Each structure stands twice: as C-alpha cells, then as structure tokens.
A and B are shown apart, each in its own frame.
Chain A
Amino acid sequence: MPSPRYWREVPARFRLEASRCGSCGKVSYPARQICPACRKKELEPTRLTPRGSVVTSTVVHVAPDDLMMEAPYAMALVETPEGPRLMMQVVDCDPSQVLAGMDVRFEFRKIRKEGHSGILCYGYKAVPA
C-alpha cells in the first residue's frame, strides 16, 4: 500500500473516528459525508470505544502471503458499544475460543509488514477483555 493511502487511513484506523448522524443518530464507521441510513448530512465526528463483543468469527488457515507465518489466526466481526462493527484479528488467546459473544478490547499492534521491504502497517487487534 503506498504511503499516502496509508496516511489517509490514520483517522479511522488509528483514532477510530466515526460519525454520528444528527438526524437519526446512526453512528457510521469510518466517518461518512452522508448518513447511509437517512441520507442527511448533519454528521458530528465521534470516536468508537475500543472494546466490543464478537458477532461472528473464523480461524484463517490458508492466509495471504503477507500473513502466511501467522496462520492459523482468528478473525472476528466485533460490535462496539456505539454500534459499528469492525473486522479484526483476535490475538493473545487460543483461536478456537474466539466465538460469538466473546468480549474483547482493542490494542494497538502491528497488523502486517508489506512485501519484502515495505512499511510496517499498524492498527488495532482485539484481545480477550
């Protein structure tokens, strides 16, 4: 991923910035220019609480080349208290224990190292709460 693209993602990826609709109250992540629920434009910036609960999950055994050394690893859709769900890797536990209903919190971690000499890519991973 070229570095400008990586840098542009910083507000959502590092600060968990979302938007709250002043009309219908829906919180969208990442922040939007128009509310996807009611299409109004009265959006206020807000931040997601870095914890949540697993909605559905899997354990990836066949990984893309960049993450081959980490397989098998658990991935989950995690629902934050504000509503938005995040796709995250769940670490520091037995991958087979990552199932719907599990409570997790977010930790800032290295997500991947791109290519042979690429930049280190950071973001949040989930760990058991």
Chain B
Amino acid sequence: MREVAIVGAGMTRFGELWESSLRQIFAEAAIEALENAGTDRLDGMWIGNMSAGRFVNQEHLGPIMAAEIGRAGVAAARVESACASGGAALRAAFLDVASGASDLVLAAGVEKMNDGVDVTDVLATASDQELEAYHGITFPGLYAMIARAHMQAYGTTEEDLAWIAVKNHRHGAMNPKAQFRREVTAEQVMASSVVAEPLRLLHCSPVSDGAAALLLCPLDQAKRYTDRPVKILGAGMGTATMTLAERESPADLDAVKHSAETAYKMAGVGPGDIDVAEVHDCFAIAEICCLEGLGMVERGKGGEAARTGETALGGRIPVNTSGGLKSKGHPVGATGIAQAIEIYEQLRDESGDRQVKGAKIGLTQNMGGSGASSVVHIFGRV
C-alpha cells in the first residue's frame, strides 16, 4: 500500500441552511478543498451521505455531484453507513489512493436534513426497521437505553452526561463554522426538555445541513499541493449487531473497539499516543461509550473526564475541540469528514483559539446508527 496524505480541505458552515440545496453545499465544500490544493485534476470522489433519498428525494449522488463541480467523467459514488457515511467515504478514498488505483481523490460528506421531512422517521432507518423502529423506538430512544444500561453497569449519572455537552459547547463557541456558538451550563442542560429519558434536548446533537470535503493523494506527491500535508496513519472500520437486543451488554459499543483496534494496528500507535481526538457525540452518552471503546478513558470515567477537564482543551487528551456533533452540528453524512478536517487543521496549527499546542497525532471516530458501525482514522504530522 502507498502512504496517503491529505492536501486540501473545505467545509460549509453547519446549521439550518435553508437558502442552500444539497448540491450547492456539496459544491461549496468540494470547490474549497480543490482550490485549497490548487489542483484542477481529480481522479475520483467518494461521497458520504446517509439518506438524501429520504431527506430530499435524491439518490445517485456520484454523477450529480461530479457534474456540479465540472468533473462529469470521473469515478464517483455515494458511500453509506448511516451517520458513519463520512468516515466510510474517507476510508474508501484512502484505500483508493493507497491501492495505487487513483492519485487525486476527494473524500466528501454531505447531508441536507432541513427540507421539511420527518427527521426522526428518517434517522430511524439507521435502526432495524422490523425489530426496533416498527415498535416505536426512536434514535434518541436507543441511545437513552444505552445510557440507562451504562448507568446501571458503570454508575454513570445524568450529571456526567451534562458535562459532555458543557465541554463540547465550550469548544464549539470558538468555532466559526459551528451551528451553536454558545456555552451552556450543566444546570441548563439538566433543565432542558426531555427527549427520551434520561436524555434531554441539550444532550442531543441538532438537525443540521452541511458539507465537508478532503482531497487525498499519495504522500510522495503531497508537496506539489501543500507545504503542510497531513498523513493518514491508519484506518479501521468495524460493525456490531444492528439491534441492541443482540448485544451482550447494550452499554458496550463493540464496533468502536473493532474499528479502533484495526486503525491502531495499521498506524502502529495506541490510545496513549493520541494528542487530540474527535469522537462521535451524537448524544452525550455516545462520547462516553466511544472514549471507552477507543481505550482513552477507563470504563465509567468518561463523564468525569469532561467535568475535570481531562478531555477538554488544555487537558490530558482534548476531545471534540471542534465542538463535536453537539455544538458544531451533525449533518449526518458530512460528520465523518468534518471530524477529519478538525484534526487536519489541528495538525497544521490552524485551529486558532482551539489549537492543541504541539499536537502530532490525532484521531477521529465516526459512528453509524446506535453503535452498529464505526470508522476510526488516525492522522499524523508530516
């Protein structure tokens, strides 16, 4: 396999972008990534997208998006793994370049969730239709069940969950692309309306529109496009059973563990080597479970790590310096790419107030569904 680098990045603001269509936000991010690298050439693109078919009635995203940026002719296809679609698209692009099949490949993600459909119903397609959604469980409901199981197994409290939101909003307040650029207090989180017990509104990521794109090429060609490329050290994807019912413990996310093990092995690093991480906090409990699955905190210590600042900026291992899905926003198919952009910028010292000083190795973890799929990437300074 060839070594692979990221040489360009582009991203829209995340939020309710009523003035823009699916293709417009994709084009904005993709054009920025290509111009960033100063290249006209493109060999292919992989587009992470969960459900444009349901959100805006548009499938077949490969050609429509390639044509939108004047690249009709290139290999292009949509990659889907629910909310991990962006991570899966990045992995596809990484393997495309690593294999030697393509030289300049766009890894993109796009989702247009605010266009009038029943979002709760569309997100529920990432759960098992016959065995879960049919009976009335919602997506927040599934994570609420994971939260209660985690509370029972490890003593996690509602206050622990609140501190995840407080920390991520504190980070997101400094991110100009974030949907919610404001801080919240633990009291505000715990007084917000209930979505699915024990999860409250401020434990949940919002409904968002947004797009993000990265340009990948072989490491030995990277200096043609940028003086500060970032190397992809490892990529891993894993799955677990779709239903919570078939997991031995609903509190443990095995897909995260599987994806992390593969990525750590490929990169030749361990959780202790990571300087900055973006993990999938679609709900506050998810950040806790993911950090445990990644081996970055002890089981049951994720909430405490946010409260004490261990996982905040300036702490031992800053997590979700972008604001995470919670504050930055969660246009589902774009999230995995947006996470990688945060790490790309951190490793290029471009994160401004959110910069983790001297960060050399970063990690992203992007999850699909209620923990049924997970993609981990590890990045390093060149």
A interface vs B, CB < 8 Å? 1, 9, 12-13, 29-30, 36, 55-67, 70, 72-73, 75, 77, 84-89, 96, 100, 111-112, 121, 123
Q: Given A61-B194, A64-B120, A86 and B130 touching (CB < 8 A)? A: no
Query: Do residues B193 and A61 form an inter-chain contact, with CB atoms below 8 A?
Result: yes
The distance in angstroms between the C-alpha atoms of A114 and B134, with both chains bound, is: 10
* B272 within 8 Å of A (CB atoms): no
Query: Do residues B152 and A62 form an inter-chain contact, with CB atoms below 8 A?
Result: no
Query: Do residues B243 and A87 form an inter-chain contact, with CB atoms below 8 A?
Result: yes
A101 to chain B, nearest CB (A): 9
* B140 within 8 Å of A (CB atoms): yes
Q: Mark B259-300, 1 if CB is under 8 A from A, else 0.
A: 000000000000000000000000000000000000000000
A19 to chain B, nearest CB (A): 13
Which residues on the A side are within 8 Å of B193 (C-beta)? 61
Query: Do residues A62 and B134 form an inter-chain contact, with CB atoms below 8 A?
Result: no
B interface vs A, CB < 8 Å? 118, 120-121, 124, 130-138, 140-141, 144-146, 148-149, 152, 193-199, 241, 243-246, 250
Which residues on the A side are within 8 Å of B146 (C-beta)? 56
B128 to chain A, nearest CB (A): 8
Which residues on the A side are within 8 Å of B243 (C-beta)? 87
Which of B195, B199, B245 contacts A87, CB < 8 Å?
A: B245
B376 to chain A, nearest CB (A): 24
Which of B130, B134, B145 contacts A77, CB < 8 Å?
A: B145
Which residues on the A side are within 8 Å of B246 (C-beta)? 36, 85
The distance in angstroms between the C-alpha atoms of A125 and B198, with both chains bound, is: 22
Query: Do residues A87 and B148 form an inter-chain contact, with CB atoms below 8 A?
Result: no
The distance in angstroms between the C-alpha atoms of A90 and B66, with both chains bound, is: 48
Query: Do residues B196 and A59 form an inter-chain contact, with CB atoms below 8 A?
Result: yes
Which residues on the B side are within 8 Å of A100 (C-beta)? 148-149, 152
Most B C-beta atoms less than 10 A away, residue of A9, A29, A56, A85 = A56
Closest 5 CB pairs of A and B: A58-B144, A85-B245, A56-B149, A59-B197, A56-B145
Which residues on the A side are within 8 Å of B141 (C-beta)? 58, 60, 75
Which residues on the B side are within 8 Å of A67 (C-beta)? 136
Query: Do residues A64 and B131 form an inter-chain contact, with CB atoms below 8 A?
Result: no
The distance in angstroms between the C-alpha atoms of A75 and B132, with both chains bound, is: 10
Which of A12, A56, A84, A88 contacts B130, CB < 8 Å?
A: A12
Q: Which residue of A lies closest to B195 (CB)?
A: A62
Q: Which residue of A lies closest to B137 (CB)?
A: A75
A-B contact pairs, 22 of them (CB 8 A): A1-B134, A58-B137, A58-B145, A58-B198, A59-B196, A61-B196, A61-B197, A62-B140, A63-B136, A64-B136, A73-B136, A75-B135, A75-B136, A75-B137, A86-B245, A87-B132, A88-B135, A89-B135, A89-B136, A100-B148, A123-B134, A123-B135
The distance in angstroms between the C-alpha atoms of A43 and B199, with both chains bound, is: 40
Which residues on the B side are within 8 Å of A112 (C-beta)? 134, 136
Which residues on the B side are within 8 Å of A86 (C-beta)? 131, 245
B48 to chain A, nearest CB (A): 25
Query: Do residues A87 and B196 form an inter-chain contact, with CB atoms below 8 A?
Result: no
The distance in angstroms between the C-alpha atoms of A13 and B198, with both chains bound, is: 29
Most B C-beta atoms less than 10 A away, residue of A29, A55, A64, A84 = A64
Query: Do residues A57 and B145 form an inter-chain contact, with CB atoms below 8 A?
Result: yes
Which residues on the B side are within 8 Å of A36 (C-beta)? 241, 246
Which residues on the B side are within 8 Å of A63 (C-beta)? 120, 136, 138
Which residues on the A side are within 8 Å of B136 (C-beta)? 60, 63-64, 67, 70, 73, 75, 89, 111-112
The distance in angstroms between the C-alpha atoms of A64 and B121, with both chains bound, is: 6
The distance in angstroms between the C-alpha atoms of A100 and B151, with both chains bound, is: 11
The distance in angstroms between the C-alpha atoms of A64 and B243, with both chains bound, is: 19
The distance in angstroms between the C-alpha atoms of A9 and B137, with both chains bound, is: 18
Which of A60, A65, A77, A87 contacts B121, CB < 8 Å?
A: A65
Which residues on the A side are within 8 Å of B194 (C-beta)? 59, 61, 72
Q: Given A57-B148, A87-B131, A64 and B124 touching (CB < 8 A)? A: yes
Query: Do residues A111 and B134 form an inter-chain contact, with CB atoms below 8 A?
Result: yes
B334 to chain A, nearest CB (A): 23
The distance in angstroms between the C-alpha atoms of A66 and B124, with both chains bound, is: 13
The distance in angstroms between the C-alpha atoms of A85 and B241, with both chains bound, is: 13
Q: Which residue of B lies closest to A121 (CB)?
A: B134
The distance in angstroms between the C-alpha atoms of A67 and B124, with both chains bound, is: 13
Most A C-beta atoms less than 10 A away, residue of B121, B133, B138, B140 = B138
Which residues on the A side are within 8 Å of B196 (C-beta)? 58-62
B57 to chain A, nearest CB (A): 17
A64 to chain B, nearest CB (A): 5
Which of A29, A72, A84, A87 contacts B244, CB < 8 Å?
A: A87
Which residues on the A side are within 8 Å of B133 (C-beta)? 64
